Amino acid sequence: MGLFDNNNMNNNANNNNNGQGGGFLQKLLGGGANSTASTMLLLVVIIIVYIIFGQSSNCTGITSSTISRTKLQGVVAEDDNAGFYNEAGPWSTVGLSDAMKDFYNATGVMPYVYIYPDNTNVTVAEMQEKADSLYQELFSDEGHFVTTFLSSDEKGYFIAYHVGTEARKVMDDEALAIFNDYMKKYYTDGSLPTENVLPNVYSQTRATIMTTETKKTTVMVIVVVVLIGLVYFFYSRRRLKQSREPQNKNNINNPM
């Protein structure tokens, strides 16, 4: 039986680790000559992981937009002068008017919200009847999206809506689900001032329903392809430079 040399064993292990594990990590993370290419490669990997696990999963609690929607053209009557909402305290502000105007400009659907005074004693069925009757009373076209809204200190919020026939081409079931998700998100956000809730709902709904997840993924794929091209370019240039170095050294050491 030979003697057990703990120091020699440790030295050999360290040498093996330095020659294998350390060298591998150095190459992977961009140590030495391949730093630029490796760093960019790492970025590409991160982006790909984000696309696969971030874009494909609904991590925000908001329904994904999967339908390609086209802005309505020439549906809303030009003599529409009903405005965007009734006067109802802190919920209706200039910010809400701007958000609903942007909603119309992006979708071609004219929104209108009837806001009940807080804690009004009304049922959801009555809110639906109100939305239906308001549509008939105020609008002569099929391009409006009418919502009735009630905030209750005890029960939270309630909404009902009437969507015109043409407006349904944009405000389909999925778009309404997205609208509802944003309503829940911003209404339950205790850090958000009351006057910012509805503006955020309309702004974010507009942005989400008019951009599909497919479009977002396509943009990310283009970015990945560009980065891969850059990685290949820098790596190839570096390899070419390295291949010329021995020849240059030989020329220096053996002048004619």
- Out of 70-74, 192-196, 214-218, 235-239, least confident range: 214-218
Q: Strands 156-163 and 144-152: what pairing?
A: antiparallel
Rounded Cα distance, 219 and 213, in Å: 10
Can you tell me the mean pLDDT for 134-146? Answer: 96
Can you tell me the mean pLDDT for 212-239? Answer: 65
Write down the pLDDT at residue 35.
60
| Higher per-residue pLDDT: 175 or 255 | 175
Task: Provide CB contacts within 8 A for 165, sequence distance 6+.
Answer: 142
CATH 3.10.310.50 maps onto the chain at 89-209
Check whether 9 has a pLDDT greater than 70.
Answer: no
| Higher per-residue pLDDT: 43 or 151 | 151
What is the CATH T-level fold of the domain 89-209, as seen in this structure?
A: Diaminopimelate Epimerase; Chain A, domain 1 (3.10.310)
**pLDDT tens digit sequence for 53-66:** 554 445 578 999 99
| Higher per-residue pLDDT: 191 or 253 | 191
- How many CA atoms within 13 Å lie on the side-chain side of 156? 11
Write down the pLDDT at residue 45.
64
| Higher per-residue pLDDT: 36 or 39 | 39
pTM: predicted TM-score of the whole model, two decimal places = 0.66
Q: How confident is the model at residue 123 (pLDDT cuts 50, 70, 90)?
A: very high
Phi-psi region of 156 (alpha: psi -120 to 50; beta: other; left: phi over 0): left
